[in-house]
Every structure is written in C-alpha cells, then in structure tokens.
Amino acid sequence: MPAPSLRDLSPLTLPRWLVLSLTIGLYAAGLPLLAADSKPSLAEIEYFERHIRPLLHEHCYECHSADAKVLQGGLRLDTAAHVQAGGDSGPALVPGSPDESLLIQSIRYLGDGYDMPPAGKLPDDAIALLVDWVSRGAVYPDTDLVDEAPRTGIDWEAGRRFWSFQPLIRPEAPAISDSAAAASRIDAFVTAKLQQHGLSPSPPADRATLIRRLSFNLIGLPPTPEEVEQFVSDNAPHAYEDLVERLLASPQYGERWGRLWLDLARYADTTESWLGSTPNSYRYRDWVVRAFNDDLPYDQFVRRQLATDSLAETGPEDLPALGFLGLSPTYFKELLLPPDIIKVLVADEWEERVDAVGRTFLGLTIACARCHDHKFDPISNEDYYALAGVFASTRMIDRPLVAPEHYAAIDAAKTQVAERSTRITELRKKNSQDPQIAELEREIAEIKAATPLYDAPVANVVTDESLHVLPAGDDPQAGTKLVYRPEPQDLHLAIRGNPNRPGQLVPRRFITVLSPDQPRPLQTGSGRADLADAILGEAAPLAARVIVNRIWTAHFGRGLVDTPSNFGRLGTAPSHPDLLEDLAARFVENGWSIKWLHREILHSATYRQSSAYDEHKFALDPDNRWLWRMNRKRLEIEPWRDAMLMAAGKLDLTIGGPSVAADDPANVRRTLYTTVHRRELSKMLQLHDFPEPSLHSPQRMHTTTPLQGLYVLNSPFVTAQATALAERLWQEVPGSPADRVQRAYRLLFARPASEAEVALAETYLQHAGVSPAMEANAVPEAWRSYAQALLGSNELLFVD
C-alpha cells in the first residue's frame, strides 16, 4: 500500500487516530528514545507526528501495537517505551545508525527472513523517510511532552497514580526455579529479573573479600588481620551473620552511616562568616551518629529532626537533632538595602529549606514549584507556599541543652554578660587599666555564678518564630529591619516567585498530591510537628521508599532508583519495582529499623556475590543494572583516609566532639571529624569528591583526577602514614622482609601477598637507595617508600 501523501497533512486535518493518540498520550508514561532530559523540540515532534507515525500506523501497528490481535515478535512500535525496549529479536532501533537497526534492515527486504511488512516492500520514499528518521536519532516523542499548552491546573487524581505516590503493597515474591539462588526475598526478586534478561547471579565472594566488603560498608574501616583470620577460619554456620551483628553493634557503625545522612543534611562545621562562629554544630553531627548507633527508628529520627522541641517523649539531649534546620545555609542580608531586595534573599532561604526537606525526606523537588506549578510533578505553586510558610515561621537560634524552663534565665544572663563584654572591649581600647574593667569582670563572674546551668552545652536549633522583613523607617532610603514575631505566619503566594508581588494567602498545609483528602493543616505552632506527622503518615509510603533506596544505594553503589532524591517524573523508574515495594513495606512493618534493613540486604545472596568480571554477562548488562555481580566500589575519602591511618596504627577512634582542621598534622581522627567549612572546603576534601556542604547531596560522585594522584604521591598526610606504616612493620615484625610484606598486605588488603608481590617488594627494597637524610633513622627510607606505594595502590582504594 502506498504511503499517504504526507505533505498534505496539515495539523488541522490530523487523522482521528492521531488526535486520539495525542489525547491518550497525555498521561501515558511513554519514554522518548531521547535521553530523559532532552526534550524533543516542537519541530522534531511535528516531524515525527507528520511523517513517521503515519507510516508506522499504516504499515506496522496492525501487528506491532496495543491494538494488534496477536502481537508479533514481542515488538510494539506504538509507544516510545516499547520501541526502546524492542522485541524478541532485541532492540528494533539503534538511534543514529539505520544500518544497524533491525527495523530498517527488515524494511529493506534483504531476504534474510525478517522482511517487513510481510505484505510487500514499502515504497522507496517511505523507506527513505524511516531511514532518515533513524539517522536523525529516531526521536520518538514521549507522548505527554506533546502537550505544549500552558498548564491550566493539575489533575490530582492522575497525579496520584504515579508509582511513587501509591500506597505500599506487599508483592508476592516470584517463584524462582533455581531455589539455591533465591535464598531470601531480595534474591527472589533479583534472580527473576536476571532470568528475564538472560542473566544469572555470580557465585559468592570468598570470605576474605566478604569481610573487607562488610567492614568498609558498615563501619568504614578495614578489618584487622586478626578479624580476617578469625572469620576466614570460622566454620560456624552463622559466621557471616555473626560478623554482620558484630559490625552493626560497633560504635564506628554510626560514624560511617551518619555521614550518609550528613551529606543529605548539608552539614557543615563552619558556616557562613556573617553568622560568627558555630562552635556547636558538631552536636548535630554527634546526635546523628548516636541515632544510627542506637538504631533510632527512622520515623523517630525524622520526627526529632523536624520537631523534637514539641515532642513530649524527648528531652534536652535530643535538641541537637534540630540542627538539620538549625544549621541551614543562610544568605548574606545587607540591611542598608531596601526591603524588596532583602525579601528576595529571605524567600531564597525558605526555598532552600523546602528543597532540603522535600528532597531529603520525600525525594521530591518541591522547591521547583516556587515560581509556578511544578513542570513535571503534580506539585502546585500553592503547595510550595503552603509548605514554605512552615519555614517562614521557624527561626534558627542557639539553645542550651537544658529543660525549657531554664531558657529565660540563661538567655537573660547571657545578654547581660554580652553587654558587659562589649563595654569591656570598648574601655580597653581607650585605657586597658580602666578600673571599670575589673568591676565589669566581677559582675560577669557574679551573673554566671548566680545562673544555674549557665555553662550548659549549646546547640544550633530552631524555634517557632516568624520572620518579617520591614522597612527600617519611613524614609524609603532607610533600609531594612528584620523582625521576629512569636506567632507563626502563612505566606502569600509570590507571583513568579517574587515576594514583592504577593498573590493570595496560602494557609500552611501539606502538599496536595500526597494527601488522600483535604491536605493536613500545618498550623500547630510553626507546623513542623504537623509536617513530620504528614511525612510519616499520609506520605509514609514515599518516605519509606526513599530511605530504603538510599540504604540500598549505599550498599550496592547504585540505587534501585537511580535518582535517590528525585522520585518524581524526572527521576528514574525503579529497576526492580517489586523489590523496592517489598523492602519498603517490610521496613515499615519492622518498626522503621535501619539495622533491620541492613540485615535484610546483607544476608542476601545478591549482596554476597563476587564482583568478578564475566565477558558474556558484561556484554548483556554492562551497567550491572540487573545485579549479576556485586559492583566494585571505590572508597570515599573518609574510609580511604581512615584506612590509611588504621594501617599506619595511628587512627584515633575517639567518638564525637569538635572538628579538627584537615591540614593539622596532628589530626589522626576519623575523617568524619575533619572540619567541613561550608564556604571553603579543605583541599583534601575538595579533591576527593566531598559534596558541596551548602547543598543537599543525594549521592557521592566519583571522579578520577591527576590531582588526586598528586595527593597520593606528595601530600604530607600520605607521606606521614607511609612513614608510620613502615615503622610499624619494622617494629612489629622482626625477621625477613617477606614477613613484613605479608603483614602489610594483611593490614591493608585483608589477604596475604602472593609470591609475585613478595618478589616485587624484595627487588624494590634491594635496589632502592637509602637517602643520607634517613640513615640515622631505624627504618630504611626504602621501606617508607614501599609503604607509600601500597597506600597509593588501587587495591586499597577499591573494594571488591
């Protein structure tokens, strides 16, 4: 059948089927062959709809679409998703390469048995059009992107149907023929996917690999040689599970996993310069570490960080939890400027809070709705302001860790002391011998002595006070004043995000799409406690999916959802949807226990797999999307640096307290305690992919740069650890170089050295000259140099 004359097809005379497909397409979850973020241009959509879809419809859909009576070859060509997925023979299209595309080969009638359509070869001009389309990249518009008309409103019912907004279900675990491969529910789901893709799991990793993997994973430190030996030779049936328990009970566990949370919470030890010093920020970090160690149920963990100050069951010791909000980034406000400028800065800060809370707890980019309805997710402009009002009614303050009834007295005393201190400073400038100084100092001592708990520790917290940006005077040039009021405030919707163009007043309430009925009001005080209730109530399924995926990501190096902080439409769909549902549902059933979740994951055969390469499987799934092996993971800066310190015998395992500067040579504490300066990260952290501490960071990046290489070769830190390791080997292992080499390998790599490695070491040590400067030293320089080579090696940095 000849192709219709396409040039005559004007948009006004689109055939009915096309109109229909566009309309239906509005809510279809179609996938463009384009990558997620490249929206096809209108021209491309038009090109496709006018030239390509009619051809596909005319010649292919009868057998390759949802309408097909019998779908042929498992291939559908009627949505982008199906085209991308391909059919029984594999992908139908290779965008950009018509010659490699099965569809094109078929329509060219090469006589290889796949000639399509079976009724007869298409006319040359139709083939040419399809070839041209594939060479241009085979743009297949995501049908809902065709909707270019401005939004007039959000269809909430449709919005709620998106997968991540659904209630949690408990899917049935697939029946797997190979029962050995399905030791746990996780394995059943993973194996089913593997089988679907013609893959199979890898064998378990050996014991030494497992203990190194587990140890870095759970406590961020390498196992000691003694621990390795014990585990490798432990024949008890539950040796592995026992090891998991020992590591989960270790106080170092919280230091490792707390850091994961601190990335999300944009934690910094030193915040913006205009805030003065923040010597107490570490109390939030230490609270997070403790919460992980205590396995504080995740719902409690969330609730306390948002609103522990309003919970009856928690006391002053939990106040630092509020550091999630209390240590938020702030933007400089020049109060000489008029209020309309300062209002924008303040609105930017509220946006930051909405963004951090939305992405951390809900995996939603709610802040995108500040200027207009969210472009992709069902989050309205009103939703944004309904939530922002909570943060507009919340003030960051310092607070002593005491019962609330003492606040007033301590605050008053501190104000009095501050006044006197200021006067002392002024007096000193004029005359350091002024007798008033001694008198003021005496008064200060008296005030402190008379105030119980005056020296109680202080934390960065929040309290319910609303911020109002007002003119400083009647004169328009007078600048701005910031006024805090005890009563909370609702915000006016700001037209196009501009607080100087107020629209309707939006009462504080939870976001619509996650509310089955009328959204819950967030009106008790600031509304923080109500917000926590909403996140853990009507939004609990989403909150659970998000945290479960984060923990999974940390174990496997990659999430079930690839975008850990975006569970909206621009996020990626889960690779194993049922597995995520199952884990999230059972996580909630098991009391939101993170340690339960760890056990569930770590006990699986999926986790215990070897990371070994397999040419066949790699060809099928280079990305390891279907988990046919364990991902080889590169250590982040924290465990890498800690491992060097530990091997060198220098690591100080003191838990908690103020941070230590990165370049302080005496800093041998865990890297968790290295000062994170919000505006200026230390070079060491900056070089090694430490996340920007003014931003919620969903996941660590791993870059490989020569500058990191220079750190290995030349940094005082690595050099010092090499020296310490060499000295340790020298002192602890009398006897032959080979014994020392063996000890080094066990300390660093949790395994003995091979003969070849020992030989390499011996050759190196024989030939390396001893530098004159080092002659007096007991340890030959060559050993120090050798130790540095081991510390810099890939084997230390990567975990199988």
Partner 1 sequence: MSTHLPSPVSIPRRALLQTLGGGLGVMGAAPFFANPAQAGTAGLASQAVHFAPRAKRVIHLFMNGGPFQADLFDPKPHLAKYAGQRPEGANLRTERPTGGLLPSTATFEQRGENGVPVSNLLPRLAEHVDDICVLRSLHADNPNHGPALMQMNNGTILPTRPSMGSWFLYGLGSENENLPGYIVLCPGRPVRFAELWTSAFLPASFQGTYVNHADLTPSKLIPYLQNEIHAASDQRRQLDLMQRLNALHLQARGPDNALEARIASLETAFRMQSDASEAFDLSHETAATKEAYGSGHYANGCLLARRLVERGVRFVQVYYGNGQPWDTHSNHNTAVQKLCQDIDQPTAALLTDLKQRGMLEDTLVIWGGEFGRTPTSENGDGRDHNHHGFSMWLAGGGVRGGMTYGETDEFGFRAVEDKVHVHDLHATILHLLGLDHERLTFHYAGRDYRLTDVHGRVVKEILL
Closest contact distance (angstroms) between CB of 131 and partner 1 is 15
Place of tokens 């909403």: 534
Q: Choose, by CB under 8 A, the member of 4, 73, 117, 137 that binds partner 1.
A: 137
Q: Choose, by CB under 8 A, the member of 9, 18, 36, 733 that binds partner 1.
A: 36
Q: Choose, by CB under 8 A, the member of 703, 731, 732, 736 that binds partner 1.
A: 703
- Contact between 159 and partner 1 by CB under 8 A: the answer reads no
What SS3 state is found at 649?
Answer: coil
Closest contact distance (angstroms) between CB of 738 and partner 1 is 16
Nearer to partner 1, 328 or 697 (CB): 697
- Contact between 64 and partner 1 by CB under 8 A: the answer reads no
Q: Choose, by CB under 8 A, the member of 246, 757, 762, 777 that binds partner 1.
A: 757
Per-residue x/- mask for partner 1, residues 86 to 115, rule CB under 8 A?
A: -----x--xxxx------------------
Q: Choose, by CB under 8 A, the member of 769, 772, 775, 776 that binds partner 1.
A: 769
- Contact between 492 and partner 1 by CB under 8 A: the answer reads no
Q: Choose, by CB under 8 A, the member of 33, 129, 534, 747 that binds partner 1.
A: 33
Alpha-carbon gap, residue 740 to 760, rounded angstroms: 13
**Which listed range, 111-119, 403-411, 435-443, 780-788, lies at the site for partner 1 (CB under 8 A)?**
780-788
For 492-518, give the DSSP string: EEEGGG-TTSEEEEE--B--STT-SSS
Q: What is the CA radius of gyration of the chain?
A: 31
| The two three-digit tokens of residue 521, written as one number | 């009001």
Alpha-carbon gap, residue 635 to 668, rounded angstroms: 18
Nearer to partner 1, 85 or 427 (CB): 85
- Contact between 709 and partner 1 by CB under 8 A: the answer reads yes
Alpha-carbon gap, residue 617 to 624, rounded angstroms: 9
The amino acid sitting at 88 is: D
- Contact between 794 and partner 1 by CB under 8 A: the answer reads yes
Alpha-carbon gap, residue 794 to 800, rounded angstroms: 11
| The two three-digit tokens of residue 479, written as one number | 């600048």
Q: Tell me which residue of 389, 384, 390, 388 sits closest to 512, measured CA to CA.
A: 384
Peptide bond connecting 117 to the previous residue in cis, omega within 30 degrees of 0: yes
- Contact between 239 and partner 1 by CB under 8 A: the answer reads no
Our CA angle for 100, 106, 109, nearest 5°, is 120
Closest contact distance (angstroms) between CB of 711 and partner 1 is 5
Closest contact distance (angstroms) between CB of 680 and partner 1 is 9
- Contact between 27 and partner 1 by CB under 8 A: the answer reads no
Q: Choose, by CB under 8 A, the member of 179, 426, 702, 778 that binds partner 1.
A: 702
Nearer to partner 1, 448 or 632 (CB): 632
Residues 625-654 that bind partner 1 (CB under 8 A): 625, 631-634
| The two three-digit tokens of residue 590, written as one number | 């098991």
Question: How many Å separate Cα 631 from the centre of its chain?
Answer: 18
Q: Cβ–Cβ contacts within 10 Å for residue 768, how many?
A: 15
- Contact between 700 and partner 1 by CB under 8 A: the answer reads yes
Residue 798 is classified by DSSP as: E
Closest contact distance (angstroms) between CB of 136 and partner 1 is 7
Binding-site size for partner 1 (CB under 8 A) equals 95
Residues 511-540 that bind partner 1 (CB under 8 A): none
- Contact between 612 and partner 1 by CB under 8 A: the answer reads yes
Q: Choose, by CB under 8 A, the member of 316, 323, 363, 497 that binds partner 1.
A: 497
Contact 462/419 with Cβ under 8 angstroms? no
Alpha-carbon gap, residue 117 to 243, rounded angstroms: 61
Q: Choose, by CB under 8 A, the member of 701, 766, 772, 776 that binds partner 1.
A: 701
Residues 550-589 that bind partner 1 (CB under 8 A): 557-559, 562-563, 569-570, 572-573, 575
What's the maximum distance between 2 C-alpha atoms anywhere in the chain?
109
Q: Tell me which residue of 87, 184, 69 sits closest to 77, measured CA to CA.
A: 87
Nearer to partner 1, 105 or 715 (CB): 715
- Contact between 339 and partner 1 by CB under 8 A: the answer reads no
**Which listed range, 101-109, 213-221, 643-651, 762-770, lies at the site for partner 1 (CB under 8 A)?**
762-770
Q: What is the 3-state secondary structure (H, E, C) of 351-397?
A: HHHHHHHHHHHHCCCHHHHCCCCCCCCCCCHHHHHHHHHHHHCEEEE
- Contact between 675 and partner 1 by CB under 8 A: the answer reads no
- Contact between 665 and partner 1 by CB under 8 A: the answer reads no
- Contact between 280 and partner 1 by CB under 8 A: the answer reads no
| The two three-digit tokens of residue 293, written as one number | 């160690």
